[in-house]
Each structure stands twice: as structure tokens, then as C-alpha cells.
């Protein structure tokens, strides 16, 4: 179900001024031949996420990323094709893998980083550029976990954001001053470990708006945006942000009729929740695009860093940008949230909980950020796969018969529709073992045998 905006909405603007101070980036040795020609329509159609793109997605990409219609179509096809290649290399390199990202106006370049120069030929063989760096992705994540642990002990109001930056091969702390960043790093015992520091006046704010207008309302006061339709057994509902409401809070729809209630909510720590709706509401695969158009969600395959994403919100509507980082920790006034994704997409108060999509693949629900859609800004989203896994939900997708998420305690060795899988996980299907290539929730028609963009034989 997608709530439609009511008339007379009020838009509130946030302003921010930022400067950038980043310590020197470790030397990166780029290697590899020019990327092969982008795949044609036939090749793109064989990859997950490369379905014929809805016009709402193409139009917004043209507007916000300043692309031609052909560039927008080519970009989506290239991004869908790059995902499986990155996944194969992730699995092949193991602990030496240091991240992957796409570059260029049409995302024609795929770069894969490794800590061992001996991996360069294997990376080139997949048609990717190679970056030989110092620290593996697992090492970067371990360093970020030190910051996460420190944030549980000290106040981080002056260091509101920290994240793994795979393109710079380092963990970055965003702070209001250098001294605040240094104090946070010292508290984490991470001095001398090569962390980057970004000094910025930006202070992420939650996008919930207590002044009504449209979308859905919480306890008759606060307003947020519907995310993605989900189901749990026979209960229909939608995913949204945890800061929008606590478990038990009641909701009314865009038309102010009774809608449902929050079944579960986590915030801070995470920013995820879901609302169960009454019989007057029906779950669909629709996401509101530009104007009255709709985008139908077909899955939840996670996009690569650098890929294009679009967001729908009840205040500012439909806007696009790119993914900057995954695994970002953000400190709001209410507390710290881990595991968010950072984007260049703008957002405004009231957009909280709204959906992010990459092509037709669900990515996450809007959390918070800085700036606005007049001057531009930064927005964070809560990844949808983590949300589905946390609450045992099934994403509603186009053309699919709803397959319930498997009950807790079900064997993880056998592939099962409804389960959330991450890159590198192994499953058995029809007597054959497979390795996961891209993070996603398994759909009924996406078995390992039928989805080579998501699974490789091991």
C-alpha cells in the first residue's frame, strides 16, 4: 500500500554549511584494461534489476543526475550487470576483498579492491578495474566496530556520522570539529589506524514532521511516509522508520481513516519498524514515482556503492542520487543508529520511512539527513533486507505469489523463499551447492538454479 499525499502540504527546509578536511588517502594502485562495452538489452535482461525501467525512474535519473534518456537506461543496465561480477569476485577473494564500486555517468566502470596484487589478473578477467589497497573490507568493518562500541559509552553529538568508505579504503569520522573527532577516535582506541576525518557543520535530523499534511499519521500527531508493502503470515502492512512510532502506536492513512498500528519498532540502535494494517488496506508492490506514476518493486537486491537510487516521500516527492557508503553509523539527538546507508539524495521532514529503490529493487526506508530538496543534501536509509530479516517479513513484489518468510529455527542449509541472504552465504538446492552473489530476500521464482545473477555453483 502506498499512501497518497493530501492537498496543502507544508514543506520545511533545513540548511547546512559544510567544509571538508580529510587526511591523506592511502596510495591506491589502479590496474586493469578499459571496461568492456556496456551490455546490450538482451544481456541486461538476464540480470536481476535490469528489467525494463519504469519511466518514473528514467525521468528522475535524467533530471537529478543530468543524464540523457539513453544514458539513464544504460546506467541501470550496467549497474545490474556489475552486481553479479562483484559478487563472484567477493566470494573468490575472500578475506582479501576490500570493496567494489561503479563509476562514470553510465556506471560503465566496475572497480574491485583487494589487499593482494596477485589478485589483479583474476579481477581483470571479470572485466573490472583492480585497486590494490592496504586494508580488507573485513578489517575496515572491524575498525568501524571499535567506533560503534565507543559510541555506546560516550556522547557522540559532535561526531554524528561515521562510516566505511570503500573507495578511499578507510573508515571516516564526520565531526563538527577536528578536536571532537580526535576525542572520539581516542575513546575507541583507534589512534594511528589511518581513520579519515571530515569536518562539517551538518547535523543529521530525523525527517518526521509533527505538522500534518499527507501520507500516514501516528497517534494523530506526527507524520511519516509509507515505505514498502510487506506481509507476515496473513497480516498485511508496510515497512517504515523506527523513529516514526513505537510498538502499539496507532496510525491513520492519507485520508485520515483508521489504518493500523506499529507491530514492532527499533530506534535508536536501528531505525526500522513495520505497521500492520486493517482490512480496509491492501498491500501492493507499488511505490509512488513522479506525479501519479508508480514503480513496481520486483525484489530487494542491494545496489553497489556508486549506483543510482531514487526515493519517494510524502513531503518532497520523487528524487534520485547515488549510494555513497554502506554500514554508516549516525548519531541523532535521540541516539546512535548503526548500519545505515548514505546517499546524495535530498529529503525533507515528513519523508521519513519512505522507500529507496534502485531500478525496481527495494533498497531501504528513509531515516534522516541534512539539507533539503532546494539546495541539496545528504540522506541516510535503513537497508530493507536487514529490516525484513529482523521482523520476519516478506517484501511484496510485482507478479509474485506471497511466500512467507521461513519460520525461525528452519535449517539455513537449504535455500528457502522469504529468507534474506548475504554475499558469500552457501545453500543447497536440488542437490547442488551455491554461493550467494548479491544481498537479497529470496523470491519464489528466484531459486539458485533460475537466478544466476544471484547465485553461483560452489
Catalytic residue positions?
A: 243, 271, 352
Per-residue b/e over 231-270, b at no fewer than 16 CB within 10 Å? bbeeebbbbbbbbbbeeebebbbbeeeebbbbbbbbbbeb
> Cα dihedral sign for 368, 374, 376, 381?
positive
Distant-in-sequence, close-in-space partners of 153: CB < 8 Å, separation ≥ 6: 187
Distance of CA 159 to the CA centre of its chain: 22
**What is the Cα–Cα distance from 202 to 192, expressed in whole angstroms?**
26
Q: Which 3 state secondary structure label does DSSP give 82? A: helix
How big, in percent rounded to 5, are the helix, strand and coil portions of the chain? 20, 35, 45
**What is the Cα–Cα distance from 89 to 129, expressed in whole angstroms?**
12
CB count within 10 Å of CB 17 equals: 7
Closest of 385, 456, 424 to residue 138, by C-alpha: 424
Q: Could you give the C-alpha distances from 234 to 59, 62, 405, in angstroms and in order?
A: 36, 40, 12
Distant-in-sequence, close-in-space partners of 302: CB < 8 Å, separation ≥ 6: 326, 361, 363, 383, 385, 438, 439, 440
Distant-in-sequence, close-in-space partners of 411: CB < 8 Å, separation ≥ 6: none
Closest of 40, 86, 83 to residue 308, by C-alpha: 83
Distant-in-sequence, close-in-space partners of 387: CB < 8 Å, separation ≥ 6: 239, 272, 274, 364, 365, 393
**What is the Cα–Cα distance from 288 to 214, expressed in whole angstroms?**
13
Residue with cell 555453483: 457
Distance of CA 146 to the CA centre of its chain: 22
For the chain, the straight-line distance linking the first and the last C-alpha, in angstroms and rounded, comes to: 39
Distance of CA 14 to the CA centre of its chain: 23
Where does 27-126 have alpha helices with state H? 41-45, 55-65, 69-93, 120-125
Amino acid at each position: 500500500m502506498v499512501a497518497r499525499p493530501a492537498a496543502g502540504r507544508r514543506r520545511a527546509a533545513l540548511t547546512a554549511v559544510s567544509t571538508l578536511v580529510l587526511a591523506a588517502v592511502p596510495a591506491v594502485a589502479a590496474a586493469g584494461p578499459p571496461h568492456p562495452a556496456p551490455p546490450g538489452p538482451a544481456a541486461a535482461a538476464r540480470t536481476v534489476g535490469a528489467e525494463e525501467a519504469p519511466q518514473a525512474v528514467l525521468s528522475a535519473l535524467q533530471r537529478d543526475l543530468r543524464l540523457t534518456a539513453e544514458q539513464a537506461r544504460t546506467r541501470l543496465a550496467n549497474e545490474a550487470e556489475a552486481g553479479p561480477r562483484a559478487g563472484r569476485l567477493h566470494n573468490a577473494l575472500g578475506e582479501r576483498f576490500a570493496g567494489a564500486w561503479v563509476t562514470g555517468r553510465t556506471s560503465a566502470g566496475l572497480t574491485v579492491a583487494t589487499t593482494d596484487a596477485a589478485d589483479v589478473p583474476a579481477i581483470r578477467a571479470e572485466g573490472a578495474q583492480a585497486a590494490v589497497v592496504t586494508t580488507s573490507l573485513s578489517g575496515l568493518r572491524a575498525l568501524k566496530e571499535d567506533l560503534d562500541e565507543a559510541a555506546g559509552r560516550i556522547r557522540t553529538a559532535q561526531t554524528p556520522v561515521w562510516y566505511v568508505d570503500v573507495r578511499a579504503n578507510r573508515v571516516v569520522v564526520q565531526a563538527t570539529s577536528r578536536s571532537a573527532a580526535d576525542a572520539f577516535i581516542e575513546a575507541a582506541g583507534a589512534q594511528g589506524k589511518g581513520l579519515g576525518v571530515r569536518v562539517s557543520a551538518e547535523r543529521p535530523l530525523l525527517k518526521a514532521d509533527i505538522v500534518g499534511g499527507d501520507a500516514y499519521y501516528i497517534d494523530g500527531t506526527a507524520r511519516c511516509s509509507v515505505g514498502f508493502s510487506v506481509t507476515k503470515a496473513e497480516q498485511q502492512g508496510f515497512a517504515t522508520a523506527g523513529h516514526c512510532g513505537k510498538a502499539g502506536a496507532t496510525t491513520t492513512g492519507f485520508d485520515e481513516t483508521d489504518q493500523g498500528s506499529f507491530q514492532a519498532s527499533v530506534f535508536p540502535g536501528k531505525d526500522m519498524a513495520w505497521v500492520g494494517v486493517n482490512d480496509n488496506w491492501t498491500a501492493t508492490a507499488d511505490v509512488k514515482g513522479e506525479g501519479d506514476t508508480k514503480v513496481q518493486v520486483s525484489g530487494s537486491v542491494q545496489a553497489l556503492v556508486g549506483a543510482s537510487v531514487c526515493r519517494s516521500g510524502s513531503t518532497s516527492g520523487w528524487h534520485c542520487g547515488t549510494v555513497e557508503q554502506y554500514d554508516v553509523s549516525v548519531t541523532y539527538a535521540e541516539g546512535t543508529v548503526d548500519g545505515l546507508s548514505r546517499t546524495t539524495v535530498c529529503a525533507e521532514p515528513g519523508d521519513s520511512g519512505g522507500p529507496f529503490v534502485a531500478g525496481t529493487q527495494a533498497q531501504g526506508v528513509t531515516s534522516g539527513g541534512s539539507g533539503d530538496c532546494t539546495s541539496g543534501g545528504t540522506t541516510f536509509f535503513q537497508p530493507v533486507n536487514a529490516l525484513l530479516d529482523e521482523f520476519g517479513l516478506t517484501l511484496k513484489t510485482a507478479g509474485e505469489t506471497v511466500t512467507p518468510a521461513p519460520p525461525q529455527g528452519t535449517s539455513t542449509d537449504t535455500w528457502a523463499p522469504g529468507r534474506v541472504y548475504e554475499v558469500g552465504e552457501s545453500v543447497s538446492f536440488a542437490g547442488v551447492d551455491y554461493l550467494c552473489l548479491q544481498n537479497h530476500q529470496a523470491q519464489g521464482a528466484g531459486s539458485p538454479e533460475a537466478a544466476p545473477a544471484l547465485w553461483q555453483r560452489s
